[in-house]
Amino acid sequence: MHPAALIKGHEQVWSWLALGVTGAVLLAFVVLFLAALISILGSRLTGGMKLVWVIFAFCAPFLGSLLWFAFGRRDAYTPVRR
Q: Tell me the C-alpha distance between 65 and 33, whole Å.
A: 6
Residue 60 pLDDT class (50, 70, 90 cuts):
very high
Residue 76 has pLDDT above 80, yes or no: no
CA 39 to chain centre: 13
Q: What is the mean pLDDT of the chain?
A: 86
Q: What pLDDT, on the 0 to 100 scale, is given for residue 58?
A: 94
Give dist(CA 33, CA 35) in Å, integer: 5
Instruction: Give the residue-averaged pLDDT of 57-73.
Output: 92
CB 36 within 8 A of CB 58: no
Q: Could you tell me the pLDDT band of residue 75, with boundaries at 50, 70 and 90?
A: confident
Count CA atoms within 13 Å of residue 2 on its CB side: 3
* pLDDT higher than threshold 90 for residue 67: yes
